[in-house]
Structures are given as structure tokens and as C-alpha cells.
Amino acid sequence: MVIDEILAYNEQFVKQIRLPIIGHAPRKRMAVITCMDCRLVQMFEQALGLERGDVIELRTAGATISEPEREGGLSDLIRSLAGGIYLLGVREVAVIGHTKCGLARADPNVLIASMQALGVDPQPLIEKAGPKSWIGAFDDVYVNVKEVVNEIRNSPYLPKIPVHGLVIDIETGKLEIVERG
Ligand SMILES: [Zn+2]
């Protein structure tokens, strides 16, 4: 399994690298929200010029808050942001969607078929939330970024601080500003 590969690598890593001890409050006092896409691994921080300790990073599928989670305003993303703001000193937020996101036009039928193929009954999900809204599928990354920015700006649990919306090109790493907070 991949975990064995990781454990073997890690054994060498801790032998060879001695990490500096740094605090957990982000130096740039910023929270960055992006997608879980594997193409963003490493490239994302490099494209933004971010080093270890600079910002807190939050990742969700699609850099979104799904519709069922928006109701009530107590999504995991808002909870994590609250921790960053109230406990770690974050004073600026950037929501960064990306081009060619898997959740843009994600097909709920594929999701259902895949659940069934892996032995999970999709029926409770179909009855409760609807697979498309539950997984957080959207049609347009720019619209999604604006919606997430508004969810954060209008959250009754968060203070008024700048919240920006951006889209990163998954192939070149180029950032485009959609909304400036
Ligand atoms: Zn994505």
C-alpha cells in the first residue's frame, strides 16, 4: 500500500531534515481556502509564494461550501475559519477556486453509480440532500468563488474582515482576482 511507501520515505526524512521550531499563528495573518485537487499539491504554495508558517490552508472539494452545509451557517469551513480568526489571529481571507475543477459540472449519476459499485446504498443520500447538492457540484467556478466569498462575508459567526475571491489556472498557476475584499 501507498502508506508503506510514505512511512519508508518519512523514516529517511526525519533522519536528514531538522525542521525549525515555529509558532502556529500564521505570519501573514491570512487564511487561504482552496480545492483538494492533487494538481495543487506543492504547486499551489509555490505559485503564491507561500512558505511554511505563512498562512492557514483550508481545502474542501471544489473550494466550496455545499448547499446543505450553507443552511444554518455552521459548515466545517466556517468553523475552521473561526478557529483561524479567533484563535490564531487571521485578519484576511482568500477563496481560491481553480480552472478545470472536478466539481464543475460533476455528474451525480457517476457519483451514484460509483457508490453502488463500492457497496454503498445511495438511497438515503438521494432522499436527504440530493447527490448533486451534497457533493457541492457547481456549473461555474467564478460563480462558486463569489458565493463562497459571500457566505464568509455574511456569516453571523465571523467578523468583518477582507475576504477576496480568486481563480487559479491549474495548468499555469496564474491567479485571477474575481473579488477584492
Ligand atoms: Zn477542484
124: CA distance to ligand 1 center in Å?
A: 26
Q: What is the mean pLDDT of the chain?
A: 95
What pTM does this model have?
A: 0.94
11: CA distance to ligand 1 center in Å?
A: 31
C-alpha 157/C-alpha 79 separation (Å) is 9
On whether the CB atoms of residues 90 and 26 are closer than 8 A, the answer is yes
Beta pairing, strands 163-168 & 55-60:
unpaired
pLDDT tens-place string over residues 84-129 = 999 999 999 999 999 999 998 888 899 999 999 999 999 998 888 8
β-bridge partners, 164: 94
15: CA distance to ligand 1 center in Å?
A: 34
55: CA distance to ligand 1 center in Å?
A: 20
4: CA distance to ligand 1 center in Å?
A: 27
> What does residue 176 show for φ and ψ, rounded to 5 degrees?
-125, 130
pLDDT at 72 over 90: no
Rounded mean pLDDT of 134-149? 94
Rounded mean pLDDT of 168-176? 98
128: CA distance to ligand 1 center in Å?
A: 24
On whether the CB atoms of residues 175 and 166 are closer than 8 A, the answer is yes
pLDDT of residue 74: 86
C-alpha 93/C-alpha 85 separation (Å) is 9
Give the N- to C-terminal CA distance of the chain in Å, as an integer: 44
104: CA distance to ligand 1 center in Å?
A: 8
Torsion region of 63: left, alpha or beta (phi above 0 gives left; psi -120 to 50 gives alpha): left
Beta pairing, strands 163-168 & 175-179:
antiparallel
